[in-house]
Amino acid sequence: MGFFDFFKKPPRIHDPLFGELRYEGGFASCNVPFAPLNKQVEVLITCGPEGPIQAQRDFFARVEQDYAALIPGCARVIEEEFRNWKEEFVIRDFAKEFELVCIEVPDNTAGEWSLSFTSSHDLDHHFTVSLLDNNATHVLIDG
């Protein structure tokens, strides 16, 4: 890598669903409207420089469709982990206490993927919930 490579802009990919994506080393990213929340969220897509495949577009559509059903599992793993710091921690209204900020779309759409949230309970941390078969398996609290 030469000195001037640091000044190159990441390649852009144009996708029919996700729009303009920035591609950097195995991932494409963009901000897209997320219908269930009526807001923009970041999407990270594991893919090659050719961009997402149809199965990944279909996966994102299923996440939008199933989002409400995913939340109870996300709340469960977040509560369990958060109680390691605050024993009496309870999520009373997930939609008011947590904000979806990122969806990870895997290259193997039957594999593990994640939803990342910020929270009014702890503004300095992100809560990344890993899912497999639409079941929340664990959370990483990072900050």
Residues 124-142 pLDDT 10s:
889 999 999 899 999 999 8
Closest CA to 67 of 41, 90, 49, 46: 41
Confidence tier at 8 by pLDDT (50, 70, 90) = low
Q: In the structure encoding, which two tokens stand for residue 74, read together? A: 């996300």
Looking at residue 109, what is its pLDDT? Answer: 80
Question: What average pLDDT does this structure show over 17-32?
Answer: 95
Looking at residue 3, what is its pLDDT? Answer: 56
CA contacts within 13 A on the Cβ side of 45: 30
Q: Give the span between the Cα atoms of 85 and 30, in whole angstroms.
A: 33
Confidence tier at 10 by pLDDT (50, 70, 90) = low
Cβ–Cβ under 8 Å, residues 62 and 36: no
pTM here is 0.89
Looking at residue 122, what is its pLDDT? Answer: 77
Beta strands in the chain (DSSP E): 12-15, 19-24, 27-34, 39-46, 98-105, 113-119, 122-132, 135-142
Looking at residue 7, what is its pLDDT? Answer: 58
Q: Is the pLDDT of residue 80 over 60?
A: yes
Confidence tier at 121 by pLDDT (50, 70, 90) = confident
Q: Give the span between the Cα atoms of 141 and 143, in whole angstroms.
A: 7
Q: Is the pLDDT of residue 25 over 90?
A: no
Selected residue with higher pLDDT from 71 and 6 = 71
For the stretch 83-101, pLDDT in tens is: 988 888 899 999 999 999 9
